[in-house]
Amino acid sequence: MAANEEDSALVKLELACSDLRTLLLSSAKLEKDLEEMEKKFDSIDEKLSTAAKRVAPLQSLAMAAKALETRINRAVSPALGLLHSFKLSESFQKKLIELSDKLSIEKNPRKRLKKLLKYVQCVDQLNEVINLISRDGEPVIQKLQEVVEFLSRTKATDQYRTQRLKETLITFKALYESEVDAMRFDGLLDEALLNLQDEFEIMLQQMKHQNIGEQQADEEADQKLVSDLGTEMEVQVLRRIAETLSASDCLDICIDIFVKVRYRRAAKALMRLNPDYLRTYTPEEIDEMQWQSLETSISLWIQHFELAVKTVFVSEKKLCKQVLGGLPGVLIWLECFVKIADKIMAVFFRFGEGVARSNREPQKLFKLLEMFDSLEKLKLEFTEIFEGESGADICIRFRELEKLLVHASSKVFWEFGLQIEGTSDFFAPPQDGSVPKLVRYAVNYLKYLTTETYSAPMAKVFRTEQMWKAGILSKPETDESLLKDAISNIMEALQRNIESKSPSYKDKILPHIFVMNTYWYIYMRSRNTELGKLIGEQYMKQKYKSAAEESAYMYQWRAWRPLVRLLEKEDSEEQDNGTKATAVVRGKLEAFFNRFDEISQRHARGYSIPDADLREQLREATVKLVVPVYSEFLNAHSKLLSGESYVSPESLKGLVGQVFNGTDRTSNGKPKRRDSKDTVPGRNSVSVEGELKNFRRSRSKSIDA
């Protein structure tokens, strides 16, 4: 068993040894093959080195040829492009000539606009090509020159070709230098730009403001005034022309044409309103104007100023933006609009400033307030129209005019109060005790001032002035309070004026008539008006009605009470005998009617009570005071007066009525004869005046007897 295993191991060992011998033999062969291959590679490498040395010059030539080709192509390609641009320029110039001929014979406005638009497009194309030639010409020539110099220096081609290239370069350079400047400044492009400038000016001149100066019936019609000055096609053409001129270094010319033409058009539109009043604008010239003329001028100024801002300038601004809005630069169109409006606005401003600086007459207050109110209403729209830095100067002048108007309005108002105070020393009161013209003027002045039209702007003037004095952070009073305080000051000045003049009468009755008439006038003209509501109806009653009633009482006491006293009963009358008593009674009646006649004459010639209602109240009060006493006197002495002629109480009532009848007077102040007759019971009908005469006649006969 063990022997078998050993034999097997020996067999395996022998097999392994046999394999090793075989492997060794193979390794020796492989080594020999590798040596042979190495020898072959060395031979190939030697051959390749030899070939590389032979090919190297050819490779250098190929690289040089490639570099030369690149350099030549880099110069020739732009040159070919430049030549193509010259061809395009020539074709566009021919097209411009054709369009110009068609444009000159076209009469239809719309078709002409379309052709003009094509003309503008062709000018743009020609300008673009010429700019391209001008921009690329010098670099192209420079590159060609570098190629020629390179070929000459490297002798990459023969001398003949090099010479021909030099001649071509010289010709090309001369063509560029002569033709480009001619095309830009002296050629067809320059002529086309001049034509466009003319077309631009003509089209702008044709755009007119419609309906300026015509009366508009309603707000809708007013809105129609603010319209486009041109059609959409016209605006498009103008915009394209402006852009073309701007791109052709004609921006300044374009702006000058636009501003010049549109200023003239705007000014001409406003001249249709006939604003001749604007020629008078200095304070001295305005002071010399008649008031009616100045009043009309200010009213026209307000209307025209508003029309200019809300209509003419709105349309002009819109056109500026439509035509010039696409130009390069920061809001060039807005600057152009301000240039158009500046001179026109300056004319309006100087008139307003002249009015504000002129003499401060009381009647000017209302026109100053109208001007101020119109500016206040326009302020927001004005600042929107003249927006930005360009319109800053115009807006500043607008605000300065407002300040002048505020200052002038305030000064006129307060100086009016001072004038009322000052007249107390220089002007005597009316001789007949009637209402002074100053009081009538002042009351109606204040009534007018407190109407809705003027109260709001007047209050705003006071509030603005208060803010100027106290500062913006101050707490201002309400508009109503400011206006009430100001007008109350004028009313108090008026009252002081009245009180200072009443003692100047020599007649003891006239001061009471004067005060009664004046305060009654103030009360009656103020009640149930905006003036009365502002000051207070109750205050007006306490202040003025009460004063008038008190003066009326004093008037009665001074004028009629002495007359009544003449008929008062005396103790001595009862002790007199019949004849003597009759004489006393008749004497009293005679004195009574003499005094009555005196009072009547004084009323007719020296006293005036112009208010009909006041006269009626005084008549009733006087009748109640006099007639009952007279009637009682007659009744008390009826026995003594039996068979005698005397004036009946009814007749006396009529006579008293005639005293207070402001119309029934003759030129010499005596009562007129009435057609109606007053009768005394038991007697024939006679006139009132006749009874008084008959009584006096009979009295005269008894005295003679």
Residues 256 and 241 in one domain: yes
Residue 141 located in a structural domain: yes
Residues 66 and 105 in one domain: yes
pLDDT band at residue 588 using 50, 70 and 90 as cut-offs: confident
**Pairwise pLDDT comparison (246 vs 82), residue with the higher score:** 246
Residue 269 located in a structural domain: yes
Query: How far is it, in rounded angstroms, from Cα 578 to Cα 555?
Result: 38
Residues 369 and 256 in one domain: yes
- List the one residue out of 151, 154, 173 whose CA is nearest residue 163: 151
Query: How far is it, in rounded angstroms, from Cα 705 to Cα 684?
Result: 25
pLDDT in tens, 617-654: 999 999 999 999 888 888 888 777 776 677 888 888 88
Residues 204 and 150 in one domain: no
Residues 192 and 145 in one domain: no
Predicted pLDDT of residue 569: 66
Domain closes at, from 390, 422, 448: 390
Residue 516 located in a structural domain: no
Query: How far is it, in rounded angstroms, from Cα 481 to Cα 461?
Result: 13
Please provide the average confidence, as pLDDT, over all residues in the chain.
80
Among 20-29, 196-205, 522-531, the range scoring the smallest mean pLDDT is 20-29
Among 263-277, 437-451, 570-584, 635-649, the range scoring the smallest mean pLDDT is 570-584
Residues 290 and 232 in one domain: yes
Query: How far is it, in rounded angstroms, from Cα 654 to Cα 535?
Result: 41
- Domain tally, the chain: 3
Residue 322 Cα distances to 45, 165, 309, 316, 677, angstroms: 82, 53, 19, 10, 89
**Pairwise pLDDT comparison (577 vs 701), residue with the higher score:** 577
pLDDT band at residue 702 using 50, 70 and 90 as cut-offs: very low
pLDDT in tens, 477-509: 787 888 999 999 999 999 998 998 888 888 889
Predicted pLDDT of residue 412: 94
Query: How far is it, in rounded angstroms, from Cα 630 to Cα 593?
Result: 11
Residues 81 and 39 in one domain: yes
Q: Would you call 451 helix, strand, or coil by DSSP? A: coil
Q: Is 107 exposed, middle or buried (0-12, 13-18, 19+ CB in 10 A)?
A: exposed
Residue 150 located in a structural domain: yes
Rounded mean pLDDT of 604-626? 89
Rounded to 10 deg, the angle between the 612-636 and 649-659 helix axes is 150
Q: Would you call 660 helix, strand, or coil by DSSP? A: coil
Residues 76 and 116 in one domain: yes
pLDDT band at residue 320 using 50, 70 and 90 as cut-offs: very high
pLDDT in tens, 18-76: 665 565 566 666 677 677 777 777 777 776 666 656 655 555 555 555 656 666 666 66
Q: Do residues 563 and 595 lie in contact, with contact meaning Cβ atoms separated by under 8 Å? A: yes
Residues 252 and 200 in one domain: yes
What is the domain-level CATH number for residue 256? 1.20.1280.170
Residue 333 domain boundaries = 188-211+227-390
CA angle 656, 661, 665 (to 5 degrees): 105
Measured on CA atoms in the order 452, 458, 462, 464, is the torsion positive or negative?
positive
